[in-house]
Structure 1
């Protein structure tokens, strides 16, 4: 009986998950194999899947999503790791303020931060082009040229999610026993060796967790 108790507590969640998540996904997948333009519906997988595979916009969207995944996720996680190391430093004061400040972009709605980045990178009166014109006498059509537009998307996503992942990695850093660093220091290991042989191995599970979350979130951009 004791082994069944946890399932009683999980039952409400599992019921809601099955009703509002699992069933719609499975039913939508089933519908994708049907031709719903005729009555009664017929099993014709090529109607929807064939049209999808022949749609050039599908392949363009897939290519762009994979590009963002390959560029933005490693960049974001590297910056998040550096930020987590800085926030974990014993020399830093006002740690609570900085943690909130870097986490705050996650709270900002997608519409709001998209509008801010559109204003910053506006071709005619954006702050970024104004700065580039003042320093280098050049500007870019950031929002309507494929390359620069992709760069803006990568920057916007990195700005929003770096602090979120940094807080996750910071929790992982704080779970690494200090005794390991003390032992490494007694063995003559410097900060760089401690990072590679103590910090990274201790952070591996948290890094994998952050990587999986980032991959899922990026693929949802499709």
Structure 2
């Protein structure tokens, strides 16, 4: 199979959630900014950047949580020369690549229109891309690992959305101690302890990579997926 054809196929197998999730997340962020009842450019900029930091990573995390278990005949997949975990990793790469493309384009528009700089805690043009990249990698890795462990897209997606909601509604509790601050998803738009932002972003990236590694270890025995179907 030609490389382009292979990646197009993996994009289709990743599902509509992976393809439509990030654009819809951006659209919801823009709609929220337009409907913002609070006056002032700073509040509007915060909502626009919040769409990148909150909605886009959630869409990526839920999409990655649905990757394991999408194949209707896993036993056939196991006979292919390419290990199943490598196939799933390609689909995760497609999901994150598309998410990154949408997020970078959105960030470029915000930078060009001046909305990026109107949020005081934007952290610049380059480092500021960690606003969306760090939580997207963190939640995607968590979703991918949960899918491999639970063998259920629904359960994995529920774990991702539950963690997201807990940090959204209990931000104060999440930031009371250093571990919570380091793994807080919304440090750019909802704040964190001064000086903790860079460590927070790096910790989320590291957590996402670690979760992805865990998923690949679990998927070294993909026959567990077949056993689950037979039970």
Q: TM-score, normalised by structure 2?
A: 0.29
Kindly name which structure, 1 or 2, has the bigger radius of gyration based on alpha carbons: 1
Structure of greater relative contact order (alpha carbons < 8 Å, 6+ residues apart): 2
